Chains A and B, each alone.
Chain A
Amino acid sequence: MAIAALEGVRVVELGEGVSAAFCAKLFGDYGAEVIKIEKPAAGDITRHWGPYPDDIPHPEKSGTFFTLNTNKQSVTLDIDTAKGRELLVSLISQADVLIENNMPRQMKEWGLDYASLSKLAPKLIMISITPFGQTGPYANWKAYDLNTFHLTGAGSRYCGRQGEAPLEHGTYSAEYYGAYVAATWGLASVFAQDETGGEHIDVSCAEAIAATFVGGQNIGGFAQDGVFGSRTGVGMPLAAPATILPCKDGFVWMLALEAAQWHGLVNAMGNPDWAKLEMFDDMFTRAQNSDLIYSMMIEWTMQHSKQDIMDMCQENNCPSTAVYDIQDAAEHPHMQDRNYVVELEHPVIGRVRDLGAPVRIPDCPGGPTTAAPLLGQDNETIYREKLGLSETQYRDLQSAGVI
Chain B
Amino acid sequence: MSRKLPLSGIRVANFGWGWLGPVAGQTLSRLGAEVYKIESYVRVDINRTIPPFAHGHDKDPNCSIQNHAAWAGNGSVTINLKKPEGQQLARELAGQCDLVLENFGPGVMKKLNLDYEQLKAVNPNCLLISMPAAGLIGALKNVRTYGMSLSSITGLDSITGYKDGPPIPMENAYADPLGGIIGAFAAVLALNYRKRNGKGQHIDFSQQEGVMQLMGPAFMDLAFNGRVAGPRSNLHPQDAAAPHGVFPCQGDDRWISIAVADDQEWANLVAAMGAPEWARKPQFETLQGRLDNIDPLHSALSDWTGQQDDYKLAEILQKAGVAAAPVLNISDLLSDPHYKARNTFVEVEHPLGFKETVYGNYVKTQHAEAPLATGPVMGQDNEYVFKDLLQMPQTRYDKLVADQVIF
Contacts and interface: CB of A to CB of B under 8 A. Distances in A.
A184 B181 contact: yes
A158 B170 CA distance: 6
Interface string A343-360: 000000000111111111
Given A114-B366, A156-B329, A325-B228, A253 B181 contact: no
B171 A133 contact: no
B188 A188 contact: yes
A67 B217 CA distance: 7
A216 B69 contact: yes
B197 A3 contact: yes
Contact of B219 (A163, A189, A214, A330): A330
Given A51-B238, A212-B362, A358 B215 contact: no
Nearest to A162: B253
A220 B215 contact: no
- Judged by DSSP, the binding face of A is mixed
Interface residues of A, number: 159
B139 interface: yes
B345 to A, nearest CB: 5
B363 A255 contact: no
A165 B359 contact: no
B356 interface: yes
Contacts of B208: 329
Contacts of A217: 19, 50, 66-67, 69-70, 172
Interface in A140-184: 141-161, 163-173, 176-177, 180-184
Given A323-B152, A325-B158, A169 B170 contact: yes
B177 A144 contact: no
Nearest to B232: A170
Interface string B151-187: 0111111111110001111111010011011101110
Given A142-B323, A236-B171, A360-B203, A167 B54 contact: no
Instruction: Name the residue in A49, A68, A188 with the highest tally of chain B Cβ atoms < 10 Å from its Cβ.
Output: A188
A251 B167 contact: yes
Contact of A150 (B192, B216, B257): B257
B192 A165 contact: no
Given A63-B220, A151-B325, A251-B167, A187 B188 contact: yes
A232 B228 contact: no
B325 A147 contact: yes
Interface string B218-235: 111111110111111111
B143 interface: yes
B141 to A, nearest CB: 8
A5 interface: yes
A319 B362 contact: no
Nearest to B185: A184
B343 to A, nearest CB: 10
Interface stretch (A202-210, A285-293, A375-383): A202-210
A228 interface: yes
A253 B149 contact: yes
Given A196-B4, A220-B356, A329 B215 contact: yes
B106 interface: no
13 contacts: A138-B338, A146-B246, A153-B328, A161-B162, A165-B255, A192-B4, A200-B365, A219-B333, A223-B357, A323-B158, A329-B212, A334-B141, A353-B223
